[in-house]
Amino acid sequence: MKNISLNIDKVAGFVSKETIAAYAPQVKACIETLENGTGKGNDFLGWLHLPSSITAEHLTDLQETAQVLRENCEVVIVAGIGGSYLGARAIIEALSNSFQWLQEKKNAPTIIYAGHNIGEDYLFELTEFLKDKKFGVINISKSGTTTETALAFRLLKKQCEDQRGKEMAKKVIVAITDAKKGAARVTADKEGYKSFIIPDNVGGRFSVLTPVGLLPIAVAGYDIIKLVEGARTMEALCSNPDTPFAENPAAVYAATRNALYQDGKKIEILVNFQPKLHYVSEWWKQLYGESEGKENKGIFPASVDFSTDLHSMGQWIQEGERTIFETVISVEKPNHKLEVPSDEANLDGLNFLAGKRVDEVNKMAELGTQLAHVDGGVPNMRLIVPELNEFYLGEIIYFFEIGCGISGYILGVNPFNQPGVEAYKKNMFALLNKPGYEEESKAIQARL
């Protein structure tokens, strides 16, 4: 069976293959540091061997819980923010029919996301939509205290209990949170919800292969066993310090992006040519942004959906400041076949494409874009994915996770903390006069 692979040929005109290969000893040392748990943030390495440590019993428990939600809900709300929803959304959207929620006949509950914003209209419209729906909630928060998620859950819990009764609510609300601490844990224990634990040593952005991602994915009807199998395959290949550098795609990825960064390429754009991958990019942006953006360092992770964004951001990428490089997620084979029809009148002049698959057109757009961007001064890597299924998405998850751990260590930061995100929270709590923030409230009021 094929695996995902990384092609860096189109980086060679910017940093040489020798420069990248010279990172091999450092990369090996970074993998050993991860493996031995001797580096920065070593209390958050639970993701490293997570795929191989997931038991069949755990997967069965998740599948059985998913089944309860599938049988009792038309809609399931996944309430969470950042790492507590992006991984699930990335996988579910990558695997779903693009028009899933418009389908009349459904074989799984519609998954809706909440708790990732504080938009009053969003929450109002959601509660309105849910009024006549049999809905359930998966409440996900590692800390159990994140304001966005807690606020949405407060509304959803009440509505679910009012609409479906306390007993049914107990059945269709599931909590995924810390084993002991946080408001989500307290509520789950008090109300008797089924709950799953987010291990202490797995940070939010590395948690997609814990119940945080696996339960929503199973509820949506996707095969979590295959997803974990894919991740295990990459774990065996990429977390082994003895895998030769050139055969370890995550090692090569981490080395290449750092070599480019040293060469002045400060922005990495994750590119896809399949709109279903939009949320894979959103997940990736948090993974790399929170892990590396600190100590006034770090590649800025950006993303585009092509060819859509070639008609908006394409100009900037082709001719703007030359501080960017691209990593393209290139899916080899689509899951469906659609040919361009021939048309006798040929008014649109497209008969030269008649009989070709739409994907052939897309692939030429991809190749043409790569060549144009490289000509324009944008180094280009390609992550080649044989097809979009659970197995390869599992490979993608682990590839990017360990690539991030290695890359953060090359950069010299702690890739597993996120101290910077507290600043806005502190100000918001002070502005809202949260109990315990009296001093901060006074200080911030004086600044306004």
Ligand X SMILES: O=P(O)(O)OC[C@H]1O[C@](O)(CO)[C@@H](O)[C@@H]1O
Catalytic positions: 290, 425
245 versus 300: smaller Cβ distance to ligand X: 300
Contacts of 176 (CB under 8 A, 6+ apart): 80, 84, 138, 139, 140, 141, 195, 196, 197, 198, 210, 211, 212, 215
For residue 65, give every residue at least 6 positions away whose Cβ sits within 8 Å of its Cβ, in sequence order, or none.
174, 194, 196, 215, 218
Asked whether position 205 contacts ligand X by CB under 6 A, the answer is yes
String marking each residue 279-318 x if it binds ligand X according to CB under 6 A: -----------x----------------------------
For residue 80, the minimal CB distance to ligand X (Å) is: 6
- What is the smallest separation between the CB atom of 215 and ligand X, expressed in angstroms? 14
According to the binding rule CB under 6 A, does residue 146 interact with ligand X? yes
- If one asks whether residue 149 binds ligand X (CB under 6 A), the answer comes out as yes
Is 293 or 334 the residue whose CB approaches ligand X more closely?
293
Q: Which is nearer to ligand X, 99 or 424 (CB)?
A: 424
218 and 390 Cβ atoms separated by less than 8 Å: no
Cβ contacts of 283-290, under 8 Å, gap ≥ 24:
283/86, 283/87, 283/89, 283/90, 283/205, 283/208, 284/400, 286/82, 286/83, 286/86, 286/205, 287/205, 287/206, 287/400, 287/401, 287/404, 288/400, 288/404, 288/407, 290/82, 290/205, 290/418, 290/421
Nearer to ligand X, 81 or 385 (CB): 81
87 Cβ contact partners less than 8 Å away, ≥ 6 residues apart: 207, 208, 212, 213, 283, 397
Residue with tokens 């109990």: 435
Residue 340 burial class via C-beta count within 10 angstroms: exposed 0-12, middle 13-18, buried 19 and up:
middle
- Please say whether the beta carbons of 234 and 292 come within 8 A: no
**Which of 82, 213, 216, 394 is in the footprint of ligand X by CB under 6 A?**
82
Closest contact distance (angstroms) between CB of 139 and ligand X is 10
Q: How far is the CB of 206 from ligand X (least distance, A)?
A: 9
Nearer to ligand X, 89 or 205 (CB): 205
| Contact status: 187 vs ligand X (CB under 6 A) | no
What is the smallest separation between the CB atom of 201 and ligand X, expressed in angstroms? 14
Residue nearest to ligand X (CB): 204
For residue 55, the Cα-to-chain-centroid distance in whole angstroms is: 23
Give 14 or 193: the residue with its C-beta nearer to ligand X. 193
> Using an 8 Å Cβ cutoff, are 30 and 405 in contact?
yes
- Of 143-151, 273-281, 310-318, 397-405, the segment contacting ligand X by CB under 6 A is 143-151
Using the contact rule CB under 6 A, the part of the chain among 77-85, 162-170, 227-235, 343-351 near ligand X is 77-85
- The distance of closest approach from Cβ of residue 204 to ligand X in the complex, given in angstroms and rounded to an integer, is 3
Q: Establish if 143 lies at the interface with ligand X (CB under 6 A).
A: yes
User: What string marks each residue from 406 to 425 as x (binds ligand X by CB under 6 A) or -?
Assistant: ------------x--x----
Q: Is residue 169 helix, strand or coil?
A: helix
d(CA 161, CA 165): 5
Binding site for ligand X (CB under 6 A): 81-84, 141-143, 146, 149, 204-205, 290, 418, 421
